[in-house]
Amino acid sequence: MSQDIFVVIEHLRGQVSDTSYVMLAGARQLSQSTSGNVTAVLLGHNAQGLASNLAADKVLYMDHAALAEFTSDAYQIALAGLIQEHSPRAVIFGHSSIGMDIASGLSAKLGTPVVSSCRAFTTDGKYVSQICGGKIMAEGELPGPAALVTMVPGGYKSELGQSAQAPALTTVSAPTLEGLRVTLKQYIEPDTSDVDIAKESMLVSVGRGIQNKDNIELANELAAALGCAVSASRPVVDQGWMPTTRLVGKSGKRVKPKIYLALGISGAPEHVEGMGESEAIIAINTDPNAPIFNIAKYGTTVDMFDLIPVLTEKVKQAK
Ligand X SMILES: Cc1cc2nc3c(=O)[nH]c(=O)nc-3n(C[C@H](O)[C@H](O)[C@H](O)COP(=O)(O)OP(=O)(O)OC[C@H]3O[C@@H](n4cnc5c(N)ncnc54)[C@H](O)[C@@H]3O)c2cc1C
Binding-site ranges for ligand X (CB under 6 A)? 207-209, 233-235, 247-252, 264-266, 268, 270-271, 274, 284-287, 290, 303-305
**CB of residue 298 to ligand X, shortest distance in Å:** 14
Please report, as residue ranges, which positions from 221 to 240 form the binding site for another protein (by CB under 8 A). Answer: 226, 228, 235, 238-240
Question: Residue 269 is which amino acid?
Answer: P
Exactly one of 92, 244, 263, 272 binds another protein (CB under 8 A); that residue is 244
Contact window for another protein (CB under 8 A) among 22-30, 39-47, 51-59, 304-312? 304-312
Residue 126 CB, shortest distance to ligand X, in Å, is 24
Q: Quick check: helix, strand or coil at residue 159? A: helix
Neighbours of 309 (CB within 10 A): 13
Q: Does 181 bind another protein (CB under 8 A)?
A: yes
Under rule CB under 8 A, residue 318 binds another protein = yes
**89 near another protein, judged by CB under 8 A:** no
Q: Is 131 in the site for another protein (CB under 8 A)?
A: yes
Helix (H) or strand (E) holding 263: strand 259-263
Q: What is the distance between the alpha carbons of residues 43 and 59, in angstroms, rounded to a whole number?
A: 10
Between 60 and 261, name the residue whose CB sits nearer to ligand X. 261
Chain center to CA of 138: 19
Beta carbons of 41 and 6 less than 8 angstroms apart: yes
Report the alpha-carbon distance of residue 28 to residue 106 in Å, rounded: 23
Give whichever of 4 and 270 is closer to ligand X, judged by the CB atom. Answer: 270
Give the one residue of 58, 68, 100, 277 binding another protein; rule: CB under 8 A: 100
Three-state secondary structure call for residue 138: strand
Alpha carbon distance 101, 118 (integer Å)? 16
